[in-house]
Structure 1
Amino acid sequence: MTTVSPYSFAPDGHGTKELHLVAVETLDSWLETQSRRVRNWLSSTGFAAKSGEIALIPDPDGALVSAVIGHGTARDRARARFHLGGSRRALPPARYKLHHALDPDALAEEALGWLLAGYSYRAGPPSPPADMAKLVAPDGVDAAQLQIIAAAEVFTRDLINTPAASLGPEELESAAMGLATRFGADMSVTYGDDLLYQNLPLIHAVGRASDRAPRLLDMRWGQTGPKLTLVGKGVCFDTGGLNLKPGASMGLMKKDMGGAATVLGLAQMIMASGWPVQLRVLIPAVENAVSGSAMRPGDVLTSRKGLTIEVNNTDAEGRLVLADALALACEDAPDTLICMATLTGAARAALGPDVPPFYTHDSALAQTLMSASARVRDPLWQMPLHPAYQAMIEPGIADLDNAPAGGMAGSITAALFLDRFVEGKTRFAHFDIYGYQPKPAPARPKGGVGQGARALFAALPDVLDL
């Protein structure tokens, strides 16, 4: 079989096997279209089209002819995504052509899930991809676009999964630089104490305790069209600073740059698709470490915008680095500004690991995002920028408090904090993502995962009027 990337569709050709995706509701009618031999075989094996159930159909000599995958009930399909992808690794490593009764959106979801099911991460030198089942691009899908999305998601997952010892601010810069070089984007970087001279004091304050220098990554691509700026939190490891996290909370902090990884993946989708936009990506890349130079609880910092901030918890550092980046972004007056960050545990408490909240004042933007989220099955949920909670982030000694006491509405108050740094007529949305799959699921192994990028990729053409 011709070598094909696990994240690409295979060419059709001799030896391709049939692959049938059959739901419980349509099993009887589908069986009526099959030969007596197939009906007898499935009856003898007890195939009932349960979600993820697989039946392999042999020819009279015992060689594989086709496979049937159960698509479950409507309830099963509403409760889980990527059923086809969930079966990929259980199929014999052959080339398959899909037969189905899916609408276009469901077909695109299942085909993408198949590609993403090829993903795995293992630390160390890269190894050849495992031989696994391949799929011919189904009729009716935009195969090129699905492959672009899959490749970008793989990029995001790899960044999140890489241990912090191997991916600090410098390595995140290298990954972004590689992306910029690949697509002909320009990139500038502001390092270390130069952050102070360039009026990015909050990024410097958060990252100065580490011997891995903090920096701001600034990528630009495209000369014409609407201005789209993506800001991603790039905290490559978060100890909590002097407000040190307990061990159980620190264990996953290699993923605290998940916002940066996700906006880089989204940027890759946009550039690979050739959108007519002026794209800018801003990533404050830091490590929140502990040393004698670390910021302290009770410190008052002055931001790029001039707002003062009382640091009441050094573990609420993400909103600090994002504040300077958002203020810088608004100086360029983008038409649309997107912020993505693994920002609060409160978001997980409210919505769990699978549904990131987003915040925006723009009702049309929110409606477009929710519609795209449902269409491509990339879950999102709008949460309110509740004005009454503004007082919770105003400490009196300074303009803002980075960690309001009491612990209530933590995701909302973090979003309100960030909103203070956005000015002008820019459409703004902030996403409080988790960036991690805590348990294996179809097409999503345990580990880093992109969230919200596919919904944004589907929504932004309408938002930007492309």
Structure 2
Amino acid sequence: MSRLEDWTAQATPIDFVDKESWPVVAETLPPALAAFARACGFDGKVGAHLLAPGPDGAPAVVLFGVEAAGARHRDPFLPGKLATLLPPGLYRLREGVSDSYAAALAFLLGGYSFSRYVTPKKELPRLCAPQDADRARIERVAAALSLGRDLVNTPANDLGPEALAEAALALAARHGAQARVIVGDALLSENFPLVHAVGRAAAQAPRLVDMSFGPEEAMKVTLVGKGVCFDSGGLDIKPSSAMLLMKKDMGGAATALALADILMGSSARLRLRVLLPIVENAISADAMRPGDIYPSRKGLSVEIGNTDAEGRLVLADALALACEEEPDLLIDFATLTGAARVALGPELPAFYTGDDSLALEIETYGRKLGDPVWRLPLWEPYDSQLEGKASNIVNVSSSAHAGSITAALFLRRFVNKPEKWAHFDLFAWNPSAKPGRPEGGEIQTARLLAELIEERAARWSVKA
């Protein structure tokens, strides 16, 4: 991942303009440069750019079109487009940029590429650290999101349960966190029967990573991430077209790790716990079957209505463990349902919580940081669709509708205090490239939650 450079006036400046301000800005430019811009047809259109030369032919300024102040939608990551448009060289944001933090972060994330198996195609442009923004935080957030993207992008032959657990342990070691891994049949002896049932058919044993960081007397925040390294659907096998992106079914675990990386690298005073149930949903003679009934850590018996609804099963045991510690805030992440994508598309994660004030806080930070989310309801009348006849609960609804909602209601059965819980149903993938968001694995919601948790931790410490 690219890093920011020390600021220098010798770097080529980048000016942000819009169609309304461009005529005024053009009047302030040297006549030759303004004439060059007009000759090239630059008019400040959103996303348009112009690299204008000086008298010696060297780059003198970059002009880049952004949304006007009164635009219906303003994308704070739009400057990330420059990371792939500009030629190699050193650039700096002109003083007075409205959000230099977001622009610099977008520039770094826009230059991301997954290069584990191929050599990067070209040298990227470099950006000076803005003088009015927190350089260390920009680089920390960009590095954490890039780590998460790398995990999502890595195919399952190189990122099975063992490798994902090792990545979590490496992150813990880097920050001095405590971590342990419960593997294979030890999941049964330590009472994680659903994690074991989902993952036991795979060549690599299922496991659960339990990571802790920070002083025990601080605010307790627990992150739970679905770590299904590949999802065949199990005996209710997916069609081949639906398996093509199933390497990303551990996107919830990648999101939890990226958020943990940001938080552990900050000065926030909190007790952070990260729980990752990690499995591959495979097919073998030992695979769970439709109609099987298993106990859960919480004590509820669960009937398998569909083996392709495995993510909620592994999350259920992890959420039950998390609640035993009674955290002040419990958040889970999962690439859980296609229903959420049908409803909201790939860019807008659905979220659920039992607390209206927490929901408002999440939405506010999402809008502020350009990390969008949309709340869906924990609709009580649908909860009865999960009732079992031979078990306490079935892992899928009897209806073909509202799949994301009923999945969230299933998870809520394993949460003691829904008012302190939020569930995020993510896509964790960019189907096509957008500014600051290359095609491929994506980490959604981590930026908004990092700031929300840091602010809550600060308020908690003052009250304590």
* Range into which the TM-score falls when normalised by the shorter chain: over 0.9
TM superposition shift of 1:70: 1.4
Task: State the shift of 1:73 in Å.
Answer: 4.4
Does residue 105 of structure 2 align to residue 96 of structure 1? no
- 1:372 corresponding residue in structure 2: 365
Match of 1:386 among 379, 389, 394: 379
Distance across 2 between alignment mates of 1:256 and 1:159: 11
| CA–CA separation in structure 2 for the residues paired with 1:61 and 1:463 | 53
- Report if the CA contact (8 A) 1:335-1:425 is conserved: no
Confirm or deny that 1:421 pairs with 2:376.
no
Alignment of 1:34-73 (within 5 A): 34-73=29-68
Shift in Å, 1:77: 7.4
Q: Residue 265 of structure 2: SS of its match in structure 1?
A: helix
Aligned residue among 4, 14, 21 for 1:9:
4
**Aligned AA for 1:208?**
R
Contact 2:49 2:65 in 1 (8 A): yes
Contact kept? 1:97, 1:138, Cα under 8 Å: yes
Which stretch of the first structure deviates more once superposed, 309-318 or 135-144? 135-144
- Equivalent position SS for 1:87: helix
Q: Which residue of 2 aligns with 1:202?
A: 194
1:8-407 correspondence to structure 2 within 5 Å: 8-13=3-8, 15-73=10-68, 78=73, 80-99=75-94, 102-103=97-98, 106-124=99-117, 130-223=122-215, 224-407=217-400
Q: 1:171: Cα distance to partner? A: 0.1
Q: Determine if contact 2:195/2:317 at 8 Å carries over to the other structure.
A: yes
What is the CA–CA distance in structure 1 between the aligned matches of 2:166 and 2:419, rounded to whole Å? 30
Structure 1 stretch displaced more, 221-230 or 67-76: 67-76
Deviations 1:255-290 (A, max 9, x none): 000000000000000001132111000000000000
Letter in 1 for 2:133: V
For residues 110 and 238 of structure 1, what CA distance do their matches in structure 2 show? 36
Shift of 1:79: 6.2
1:365/1:463 contact within 8 Å kept: no
- CA apart distance, 1:426: 6.5
CA contact (8 A) 2:75 2:370 kept: no
- Distance in 2 (alpha carbons) for counterparts of 1:238 and 1:291: 13
Distance in 2 of aligned mates of 1:410 and 1:98: 45
Question: Mind listing any 5+ residue stretches in structure 2 that lack a counterpart?
Answer: none
Q: CA deviation at 1:102?
A: 4.0
Q: Residue 346 and residue 100 in structure 1: after superposition, are their counterparts in 2 closer, same or farther (change >3 A)?
A: farther
1:437 maps to 2:445: no
Shift of 1:56: 1.6
Q: Which amino acid aligns with 2:92?
A: K
Distance 1:77 1:175, change over 3 A: farther
**Matched residue type, 2:297:** R
In 1, distance between residues paired with 2:413 and 2:437? 35
Q: Give the C-alpha shift of residue 390 in structure 1.
A: 0.8
Q: 1:440 is aligned with what amino acid? A: A
Query: Which amino acid letter does the alignment assign opposite residue 430 of structure 1?
Result: H
Q: 1:233 touches 1:283 (CA, 8 Å); kept in 2?
A: yes
CA distance in structure 1 between the aligned counterparts of 2:419 and 2:343, rounded to whole angstroms: 28
Is the contact between residue 22 and residue 100 of structure 1 (CA under 8 Å) also seen in structure 2? Answer: no
Structure 1 runs (4+) deviating above 6 angstroms are none
Counterparts of 2:242 and 2:389 in 1: how far apart (Å)?
A: 30
User: In structure 2, what residue type is equivalent to 1:281?
Assistant: V
Higher mean displacement: 425-434 or 383-392: 425-434
Counterpart selection for 1:451 from 444, 450, 453? 444
What are the Cα deviations for residues 206-249 of structure 1, in whole angstroms up to 9, with x where unaligned?
A: 00001110000000111141010000000000000000000011
* Residues 412 and 418 in structure 2, CA contact (< 8 A), matched pair in contact too: no
Could you tell me whether the CA contact under 8 Å between 1:188 and 1:217 is conserved in 2?
yes
Structure 2: which amino acid aligns with 1:45?
Answer: C
Give 2:218's aligned amino acid.
Answer: G
Quote the Cα distance in structure 2 between the aligned partners of 1:88 and 1:120: 11
For the 8 Å contact 1:241–1:315, the answer to whether it is kept is yes
- Code of the residue aligned with 1:225 in structure 2: it is A
Aligned length: 458
Letter in 2 for 1:366: A
Higher mean displacement: 147-156 or 35-44 = 35-44
